[in-house]
Amino acid sequence: MNTPLIASEISEAVLAQLRKAAEEMLQRAYAPYSHFPVGAALLTGSGRIFQGCNIENAAYPSGLCAEAVAIGQMIATLGSRPIRAAYIACKGHSPAWPCGSCRQRLNEFASPTMWVYTATLAGSPQRMAFSDLLPNSFGAMNLQKGGCQ
C-alpha cells in the first residue's frame, strides 16, 4: 500500500507556529524603498520551518522577495524539500498573496497538496491551495524526457 508522504491538513498549532515565524520576519525586512515589509515562512514535509523577509536594493530589480529568501534558507540548510505550506505576512491593510514570480519559485518545491496562507497582522489567515494560485503551471515535468528534443 502506498502511504502518502505528505499530509494535507495543517493543525492549528502548526499554523500558529508558521504565522509567528512569518510575522517575526516583518521586523527583519529591509524595505526602505517600498516601505512594504513582507515575511514568509515555509513548512517542509518533515515539519521544519524556514523564514525569509524581503530585501530591497537601490537598484530596484535586484531586490528579493520574502518567499525567495525563505526558499534560499531552506535550500542552504536542508537542500530541496517538498513544501507543505507557506505563510505570507504583511503589515498592509489587505493580505498579500505571493507575486507571480514567487508563485513560480514556490512551484519548484511545492508538494502536490501545498497550502498558501496569508494575513495582515490583525486579520485571520486566508488559505488557498497552491494549485489554485498557479494553475496549469510550468515545472520540472515539462523538462523531462529531453524537453523539446
The residues assigned a catalytic role are 67
**C-beta of residue 112 within 8 angstroms of C-beta of residue 103:** no
Q: Return the number of the residue (74 or 96) whose C-beta is nearest ligand THU.
A: 96
Closest C-alpha to 116, from 126, 107, 105, 124: 126
Binding residues for ligand THU (CB under 6 A): 31, 34, 36, 38, 54, 56, 63, 65-67, 96, 98-99, 102
Report the residue number, 52 or 84, with the smaller CB distance to ligand THU. Answer: 52
CB of 104 to ligand THU, least distance (A): 11
Nearest to ligand THU of 44, 54 (CB atom): 54
In the structure grid, which three cell numbers stand for residue 27, read together? Answer: 521586523
Between CA 33 and CA 19 the distance in angstroms is: 25
Shortest approach of ligand THU to residue 58 CB, angstroms?
12
In whole angstroms, the minimum distance from the beta carbon of 71 to ligand THU comes to 11
User: What stretches of 31-122 adopt beta strand conformation (E)?
Assistant: 38-44, 49-53, 83-90, 110-120
Per the structure block, which three cell numbers stand in for 148?
523539446
